A and B are shown apart, each in its own frame.
Chain A
Amino acid sequence: MVFTANPILTTPRKPIIRPEHWLKKKYPEKHHHYGLEDFFAFHTASGTIVDWNDCRNALASEDFIIGLIEGLEAEVGNASGVVMYQIGRQWGLKDAAFFRKWFMEEYQYEKELHQLNLAYVLEAWWWPFTSQGWGNWSVDMDEQKNGFMFINIYDSAVARTLGDVGKPVCHIYAGLMAGFFSSLVKKSLSCIEIQCYSMGENYCKFLLGKQERIDAATFWQNEGATAKDIEKRLVHGEYLK
């Protein structure tokens, strides 16, 4: 038996040409790149969109979001929320590493990331999400002494698309927050959406904390508790018995 080289395997692969952000290439020190045409580079010839942080972007329609959510529900039923949460969590973990890289490369701080101002770092992390259409946010740390915090998302892409369905739908956001903050604080954190635009509320509200608190909030929510009920119980230090 004679072995010969497989011509398919020996064919040299063409190197993948990564699209460049031409404005960044020209002005790498330009930190005020907040305009649409500054932050995104639209390569119309190749049909690719790359942002200032060299992240490849893809446009998705509301039909895509509906198809994704409903398709997942058709496949796994009630577990679709958990699946979306886990997708979001993995995304958040990876995005935390990605954020650290571009943030420190962009601003060249001598201090470590954990020594920088929290509000500044959080805003630096989220504003590209806002640019990409994931909605605006605010972080409420008034209850930090109780070991949890709230994150508000205004104009969630998922909730806005699905409309009023009477239940929380932004599981991917909850996972994203859990993953990112877990990586940031180097502790395992969980997150639950306790109020959603899809429940007829004005904005989505997420509770971030350790697993036992989130488990308690999940139980109370399943029992019919509102966001305010959950908040009150947590402030009073209630846990699952």
Chain B
Amino acid sequence: MMSQSVLAQLSVTEFFQGYNWSGQPPKLESLLQTTAIDPASWLTLSVGDFLSQSNWHGSPRGVQPKPPQLEKALSLTLTVQEYFQYPVWQGQPHIAVVPKDPVRREAKTKATEKYQVTDLTHLF
């Protein structure tokens, strides 16, 4: 599940385009590649920074956003003007675009859909 901070950054279009509509399992990056944090350095962190290091949402580490920056961006200490400039208000209307399948043929239109009632008389 995406965090509120990540969601807030996305436009509606981006959200629906990035959604895993086909239910494919996500490709997880190896946890070995992530940089290990020296436990000794934890003591130098503020409580907020320390807690923000944890992967609270269980999302793959490779795609986890940088919480401190986002927290700052979403801070309630922003002015109203700054806060409302943050969302992408003018999104492109291409929500959940399905890629074109080159081999897919036009669905067969039911014969009745192109007729008027009066046409039925001529069929018999």
Q: Do A and B bind each other?
A: yes
- Which of B115, B117, B124 meets A189, CB within 8 Å? B124
Docked complex Cα distance between A210 and B111 (Å)? 20
Q: Residues of B contacting A10 with CB < 8 Å?
A: none
Closest to B109 in A: A119
Report B-chain residues with C-beta under 8 Å of the C-beta of A181: 120
Q: How many residues in B have their beta carbons less than 8 Å from beta carbons of A?
A: 13
| B-side contacts of A185, CB under 8 Å | 120-121, 123-124
Is B117 in contact with A184, judged by CB distance below 8 angstroms? yes
Main secondary structure on B side of the interface with A: helix
The residue from B112, B113, B117, B123 contacting A116, defined by CB atoms under 8 A apart:
B117
> Residues of B contacting A209 with CB < 8 Å?
124
| B113 in contact with A117 (CB, 8 Å) | yes
**A186 in contact with B116 given A119-B110, A141-B111, A142-B111 (CB within 8 Å):** no
Contacts of B124 in A (CB 8 A): 147-148, 185, 187, 189, 209-210
**Is the Cβ of B116 less than 8 Å from the Cβ of A122?**
no
Chain A residues whose C-beta falls within 8 Å of the C-beta of B118 in the assembled complex: 114-115
A66 lies within 8 A of chain B by Cβ: no
What is the CA–CA distance of A141 and B123 in the complex, to the nearest angstrom? 10
Interface membership of B38, Cβ < 8 A = no
Give a binary string over B93-124; 1 marks a CB under 8 Å from any A CB, 0 the rest.
00000000000000000111101111111011
B123 in complex: contacting residue of A115, A117, A147, CB < 8 Å: A147
B110 partner residues in chain A, CB cutoff 8 A = 119, 139, 141
Q: Pick the contact of B117 from A115, A141, A145 — CB < 8 Å?
A: A115
Cα(A122)–Cα(B113), bound, Å: 10
